Chain A
């Protein structure tokens, strides 16, 4: 069963790549703009750290590791899911969603994984390079267990982000009629772009807790980044991140099914 889905995913990935190679121009322009963006992001932070010694207790190297982690995470989500989820609203509007429902396969899998956006794959690599450089500057010594924990938490962060994306996508069908999911996702992920410690002050602290514990979007990059570069990671936090990922993914599946039900009873 699982094997069938894995095989199917590889076929989808292969055909996506073939399709994209047919339009190389698009592919190259996108990679170029992504590189420009990363360059400016790094430059900005480099300049900031010439003016200040730390941002919310993260020193320069730690902060650069965080940025690498965010960049890799963003790239992963963009590559695997973002474009697919963005097309969902169009599928609903045009009625082409019908064809996804006819197939003897899980609708959520088909809707969210159909197309693999290969032009975002370099971002994951670049993110990894930045993380490695930051670790090298810190003078980190290789530790298999630490890397293992990081990978697990990175994966659960990705799962968490996927869950939120799916919820946003499903909700957008009847809550946000005219908005582009791309824009909403960019606005929403602003919460995972910075260390949670910046939420300081009388009104910011509770806001930070809210997005850490109630709608735990901040866990996505904060927890995996902390495990590598911050002094110590409390075990409860790691467990909490994994549990949150499971709960959010389960909730997203429930909401996606509800959206499908809504579509199937409202359309003609």
Chain B
């Protein structure tokens, strides 16, 4: 009897442990959304009311639009975040696992890209339910855009995926020269959290034209902010097309840079004998 109880206990903990992995990480990934929501609720609550009783807006966002924005950047990040990519590459460089790509007729970057692509599809499929419920609960804050906007939105998300991938891959490849990428990546992630617009729409920094100009030129906004703005139809006509073109240029630019960096890194690597 005791034996079977023990077996029951062991198999139960194994199963629970494995599912806990999935549920805990999903739960953790929702936490920043919750706190950001509440922070903005508090900000809108503290803002002075207009005398004519009009709805409070902050940098052109009503409360509802802000909520919609915060939900949409989550979708952007679902495409553009690459947890563990940079550190994985850096580990491969350090441990000498890189040799497996050099010996086999396979290119590391293309391999990782297809691997990530598959991973993203699986991840989006598994989290569709919680996100579906969330969006359903907040359905009132959204106005569904027209078909062209949908098309532009999907395009911007695919490009966001590519920019996210090549940006992190570049940092990972920097592991050829950097001593330690993990803790560096931690800082970069925090930095990205702010400048990609995950915490606030970038209009908020409108008073600092140099800063907004810099953010306009840098690739970070395309990781979260830009796709969300496309969906909210705050980018239209020429502005939308120019935005998409810049995003496309960044995706290509980072791809080229990443390949070049990898190439130089490999030479550096073999010079040191691996």
A, B bound: yes
Residue B216 interfacial (CB < 8 Å): no
Closest chain-A Cβ to B28's Cβ sits at a distance in Å of 4
In the complex, the answer to whether A200 meets B84 with C-beta atoms within 8 Å is no
Residue A25 interfacial (CB < 8 Å): yes
Identify the stretch in B97-105, B144-152, B175-183, B247-255 within 8 Å (CB) of chain A at 4 or more residues: B175-183
Identify the stretch in A144-152, A156-164, A179-187, A245-253 within 8 Å (CB) of chain B at 4 or more residues: A179-187
Other-chain contact of A187, B29, B59, B177 (Cβ < 8 Å): B29
Other-chain contact of A51, B21, B24, B43 (Cβ < 8 Å): B43
Closest chain-B Cβ to A77's Cβ sits at a distance in Å of 12
Q: Interface size of B by Cβ–Cβ distance < 8 Å? A: 49
Distance of A243 Cα from B47 Cα, bound (Å): 37
In the complex, the answer to whether B205 meets A47 with C-beta atoms within 8 Å is yes
| A contact residues around B188 at 8 Å (CB) | 33
Q: Which residue of A lies closest to B47 (CB)?
A: A52
In the complex, the answer to whether A55 meets B25 with C-beta atoms within 8 Å is no
Q: Which of A75-134 contact B (CB under 8 A)?
A: 78, 82-83, 86, 117, 119
| B contact residues around A182 at 8 Å (CB) | 182-183, 185-186, 189
Closest chain-B Cβ to A160's Cβ sits at a distance in Å of 17
Identify the stretch in B72-80, B127-135, B193-201, B230-238 within 8 Å (CB) of chain A at 4 or more residues: B193-201
Q: Which of A49-69 contact B (CB under 8 A)?
A: 50-56
Residue B7 interfacial (CB < 8 Å): no
Distance of A42 Cα from B189 Cα, bound (Å): 17
Distance of A180 Cα from B38 Cα, bound (Å): 26
Q: Interface size of A by Cβ–Cβ distance < 8 Å? A: 52
Total inter-chain residue pairs, C-beta < 8 Å: 137
Distance of A175 Cα from B48 Cα, bound (Å): 46
| B contact residues around A36 at 8 Å (CB) | 191
Other-chain contact of B207, A29, A47, A176, A199 (Cβ < 8 Å): A47
Encoded as 1 (CB less than 8 Å from any A CB) or 0, chain B from 180 to 222 comes to 1011111111110011000110001101100100000000000
Closest chain-B Cβ to A78's Cβ sits at a distance in Å of 8
Q: Which of A33-55 contact B (CB under 8 A)?
A: 33-34, 36-37, 40-41, 43-44, 47-48, 50-55
B interface, by DSSP: helix, strand, loop or mixed?
helix
In the complex, the answer to whether A180 meets B28 with C-beta atoms within 8 Å is no
Closest chain-A Cβ to B248's Cβ sits at a distance in Å of 26
| A contact residues around B183 at 8 Å (CB) | 30, 78, 82-83, 86, 117, 119, 182
If A47-B205, A51-B58 touch, whether A183 touches B83 (CB-CB below 8 Å) is yes
Residue A188 interfacial (CB < 8 Å): yes
If A26-B180, A29-B184, A198-B35 touch, whether A176 touches B41 (CB-CB below 8 Å) is no
In the complex, the answer to whether A190 meets B35 with C-beta atoms within 8 Å is yes
Distance of A186 Cα from B194 Cα, bound (Å): 13
| B contact residues around A82 at 8 Å (CB) | 183, 186
In the complex, the answer to whether A43 meets B35 with C-beta atoms within 8 Å is no
Closest chain-B Cβ to A199's Cβ sits at a distance in Å of 6
Q: Which residue of B lies closest to A187 (CB)?
A: B28
| B contact residues around A86 at 8 Å (CB) | 182-183
In the complex, the answer to whether B43 meets A48 with C-beta atoms within 8 Å is yes
Residue A194 interfacial (CB < 8 Å): yes
Most buried by A among B84, B183, B199: B183
- 6 other contacts beyond A176-B25, A184-B25, A188-B31, with CB at 8 A cut-off? A44-B200, A52-B43, A52-B44, A117-B183, A182-B182, A183-B189
For the complex of A and B, list the 10 residue pairs with the smallest distance between their C-beta atoms, beginning with the closest: A52-B47, A56-B42, A52-B46, A187-B28, A23-B179, A198-B38, A54-B46, A198-B42, A182-B186, A190-B32
A residues touching B (Cβ–Cβ < 8 Å)? Answer: 23, 25-26, 29-30, 33-34, 36-37, 40-41, 43-44, 47-48, 50-56, 78, 82-83, 86, 117, 119, 174-180, 182-184, 186-188, 190-191, 193-194, 197-201, 204, 207
10 A–B pairs (Cβ distance < 8 Å), ordered by A: A26-B178, A34-B187, A40-B195, A48-B200, A179-B21, A183-B189, A190-B31, A198-B39, A200-B38, A200-B42
